[in-house]
Amino acid sequence: MGNPPSPIIIITAPSGAGKTSITRYLLQKYPYLAFSVSAATRQPRGTEKDGVDYYFITEEDFQKKIAANEFVEWEMVYQGKYYGTLHSELNRIWQQQQVPMLDIDVKGAIHVQQQYPEQCFSLFIEPPSLDELKNRLLARGTETEESLQARLGKAAFEISFKNYFDQVIVNDRLEDACAAAEKAIGEFLQSKQFRQQIIHS
């Protein structure tokens, strides 16, 4: 797209806050949004596909891409597992006249905003409380006592950064949080700066 600047939408949250459900809702609601596929060194899970959910690459390839400055940002999100947003991915989406939507962790989100301060609109999805987050993680049934405590500790830390983002949405009821996110993104994309670039659905 070039000039005026191409928008970027970022959705970030502590694990278990409902970020993935909200991201899916927005992608289906706004066809001009395109999911930004990150590179990751973890193994695919379940029905995940290479090039759709992630670009699944080896740690060696990931390191080469870091050295070649191919990442907008990258993080070791979990012990030994790297995740990163590629410049080539943002360019691919902009070239097809769409708006990239990044579902990334809090540190990564802050780094993208620092690099593209004029172009980003960021949503922080906040759980109603840490107790509620604990209940949701327990309901998933995938956590050990140790991983549960680690996620809750990380969540408290991440929530302390919520004011770095353009809008905070408390996900108490998923339906309400989806509606609030839809409204916020609609307003951002209708703003004078980006209006001409968006193909209305």
Residues that bind ligand 5GP (CB under 6 A): 15, 38, 42, 73, 75, 77, 83-85, 103-105, 108
Cβ proximity to ligand 5GP: between 150 and 198 the closer is: 150
52 versus 190: smaller Cβ distance to ligand 5GP? 52
Shortest Cβ 34–ligand 5GP spacing (Å): 15
Torsion sign (Cα): 56, 164, 151, 170:
negative
Closest approach of ligand 5GP to the CB of residue 85, in Å: 4
Helix%, strand%, coil% for the chain, nearest 5: 45, 20, 35
Q: What is the nearest approach in angstroms of ligand 5GP to the Cβ of residue 84?
A: 5
CB 144 within 8 A of CB 92: no
Nearer to ligand 5GP, 159 or 197 (CB): 159
Q: By beta-carbon distance, which residue lies closest to ligand 5GP? A: 108
Phi, psi of 72 (to 5 degrees): -70, -40
Q: Choose between 11 and 197: whose C-beta lies nearer to ligand 5GP.
A: 11
E-strand ranges in 70-164 read 71-78, 81-86, 99-103, 120-126
Rounded Cα–Cα distance for residues 77 and 84 (Å): 9
